[in-house]
Copies of this chain bind each other. A is one copy, B any other.
Amino acid sequence: MSIIVLGTVATDTLKTPFGLRRNILGGSAVHFSMSARLFAPVNIVAAIGNDFPSGYIRFLKKKKIVLDGVTVQRGESFHWEGEYQGDMNTAITRKTVLGVLADFKPVINPAQRNIKYVFLANIDPRTQGDFLNELRAPRLVAMDTMNFWINTERQALLRMLKRVDIFVANDQEVRGLTGENNLVRAAERLSRLGPKMVLVKKGEHGVLFYSPEFTLALPAYPAKKVVDPTGAGDTFAGGFMGYLAKTGRQDALTVKRALAYGTIAASFNIEDFGLARTASLRMADLNARMKEFRKLVCF
């Protein structure tokens, strides 16, 4: 089953205790695609400026990512500059160039309108809504967001919650959105606002999944080396959605395995800057680490 992801295709300048990288390929849709591609064909919907490095486009094509939904607009491409310090759990934004994202209207082709598995990466909730209007009969829609939209587009965000199956957010966002400190209760409350399933990403502390039918929890893979956490959440989502799209099921065991695949995909992402590790990731790498992860988690 194909997957379609709405998000950003961007360049990132990143500083971590392990070094500095300027203008490397990044963006939510790109990180998502690096893990999702191992499970299913991935279609990216995004806008780039006419300054976007053509080498990055060639790279994505080589990775068999479908770029029919990537529109080139006159102007600057989305660019993010961030830094991580200390425990590296929180990014410090140094600069954001919105560029062509400022008035981005998603455009997809007729075939893409029939895609069933949809990931709305972190982007203006109004753009997420516009995009969702273009799809004919999605089977499973997941959406991510960030504090910025919770604070500035709360109403649009709440409207979107009614239209999606899975809401993906980190622990701070879930607490900020509900005003509830207990994460299980916060997730439960969010699920009553629309999305049946709520996936709480806790970074180095793993993930919590809530649905009225079952609650699941997994620790993160205990990584010894965290070089650059940028895109870990999207890489997680790519593994998670990828496995759900591949299996076509949503029972507790399937969802748990999807969470584990997401966890493992993210554990590779953080080992090096940008896509340096995930660009060469193969299914065999995921499965080998999944086996190890099962050994350290299951009792």
Contacts and interface: CB of A to CB of B under 8 A. Distances in A.
Interface string A73-88: 0000000000000111
Contacts of A257: 299
Contacts of A97: none
Contacts of A256: 296, 298-299
B182 A299 contact: no
A228 interface: no
Contact of A222 (B88, B183, B222): B183
A92 interface: no
Q: Label chain A's interface by main secondary structure.
A: mixed
Interface residues of A, number: 40
A90 interface: no
A194 to B, nearest CB: 20
30 contacts: A86-B181, A87-B181, A88-B181, A182-B225, A183-B222, A184-B223, A184-B224, A185-B224, A188-B224, A202-B205, A205-B205, A205-B206, A206-B206, A208-B222, A215-B222, A216-B297, A217-B220, A217-B222, A217-B296, A218-B219, A218-B299, A256-B296, A257-B299, A259-B299, A294-B298, A294-B299, A297-B297, A297-B298, A298-B298, A298-B299
